[in-house]
């Protein structure tokens, strides 16, 4: 039996979260998906982006849901399908023209695994083993690349452009770079809701928020343990 989203919200979402949302007349939600997909490692389960969007739109005072995510040129078909599902769910995919991910090659060295101050804690024998391990990785020919597609500028511009249309924001991100636009919104009397996962939300954001919302205690959609990760190929 399918349970309506309104009932799921009522019985499975913390009441103080619902109360904060109800108090605002016009909330705009901004979802940094790259940031959000990292939450899955902490949570131990994976969410469906469509379910997040669907849940947000069950609240009549959430007027806009804007999603920020890049196009993976190495898996264009699946990536485009994923982006289309976001739009089909009713969210605004930002920017209007998809921004392609870049893949940054990572050097395999001490700094890839440890900070300098951590290396200083090891004795000579441990350091020698680490160096041998790195040498073996280099000989193997393994190439490590990290996908990168940052949307801080786009999110900041959208928030400032939307200022006169909203009374509050729900920011789905823990990135400290979002401090500046949030400060500007507070000056203009807007309420700030930060949605995240404990331990990976920057302290700078906690100093600005009117309400912190733990994503794991807010989200009422499907939770899965599938091996595919939307952050890497556009599948879910």
DSSP 99-157: PBPEEEEEP-SHHHH--HHHHTTS-HHHHHHHHHHHHHHHHHT--EEEEE---HHHHHH
Cα–Cα distance between 159 and 169 in angstroms, integer? 8
pLDDT at 226: 57
22, pLDDT greater than 70: yes
Pull the structure tokens for residue 145.
């690349």
Residues 91 and 45 both lie in one domain: yes
* Structural domain for 78, as ranges: 5-98+149-233
Residues 84 and 176 both lie in one domain: yes
pLDDT above 70: percentage of residues in the chain = 94
Residues, the chain = 236
Residues 87 and 116 both lie in one domain: no
Q: Could you read off the pLDDT of 72-98 as tens digits, one per residue?
A: 999 999 999 999 999 999 999 998 888
Cα–Cα distance between 27 and 56 in angstroms, integer? 10
Residues 153 and 221 both lie in one domain: yes
Burial environment of residue 231 by CB neighbours within 10 A (0 to 12, 13 to 18, 19 or more):
buried
The DSSP bridge partners found for residue 32 are 68
Evaluate whether 205 touches 176 at the Cβ level (below 8 Å).
yes
Pull the structure tokens for residue 7.
């009932």
Number of domains present in the structure of the chain: 2
Virtual torsion, Cα 46, 173, 92, 29, nearest 10 deg? 110
The pLDDT confidence band at residue 227, using thresholds 50, 70 and 90, is: low
The pLDDT confidence band at residue 236, using thresholds 50, 70 and 90, is: very low
136, pLDDT greater than 90: no
pLDDT at 1: 66
Closest CA to 45 of 231, 235, 229, 196: 229
Residues 114 and 186 both lie in one domain: no
- CATH number of the domain where residue 83 is located: 3.40.50.1010
* Average pLDDT of the chain to the nearest whole number: 89
pLDDT at 60: 96
Residues 85 and 185 both lie in one domain: yes
Residues 57 and 163 both lie in one domain: yes
83 φ/ψ angles, rounded to the nearest 5 degrees: -65, -35
């Amino acid at each position: 039996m399918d349970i309506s989203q309104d009932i799921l919200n009522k019985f499975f979402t913390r009441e103080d979260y619902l109360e904060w949302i109800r108090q605002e007349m016009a909330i705009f939600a901004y979802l940094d998906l790259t940031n959000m997909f990292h939450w899955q490692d902490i949570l131990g389960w994976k969410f469906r982006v469509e379910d997040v969007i669907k849940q947000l739109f069950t609240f009549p005072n959430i007027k806009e849901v804007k999603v920020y995510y890049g196009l993976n040129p190495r898996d264009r078909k699946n990536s485009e399908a994923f982006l289309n599902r976001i739009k089909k769910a009713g969210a605004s995919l930002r920017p209007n023209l998809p921004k392609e991910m870049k893949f940054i090659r990572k050097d395999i060295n001490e700094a890839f695994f440890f900070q300098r101050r951590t290396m200083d804690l090891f004795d000579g024998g441990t350091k020698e083993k680490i160096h041998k391990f790195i040498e073996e990785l280099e000989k193997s020919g393994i190439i490590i690349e990290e996908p990168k597609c940052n949307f801080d500028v786009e999110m900041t511009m959208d928030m400032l452009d939307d200022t006169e249309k909203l009374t509050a924001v729900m920011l789905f991100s823990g990135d400290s770079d979002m401090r500046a636009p949030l400060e500007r919104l507070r000056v203009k009397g807007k309420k700030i809701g930060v949605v995240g996962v404990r331990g990976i939300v920057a302290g700078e954001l906690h100093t600005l928020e009117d309400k912190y919302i733990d994503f794991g205690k807010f989200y009422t959609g499907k939770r899965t343990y599938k091996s595919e990760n939307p952050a890497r190929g556009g599948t879910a």
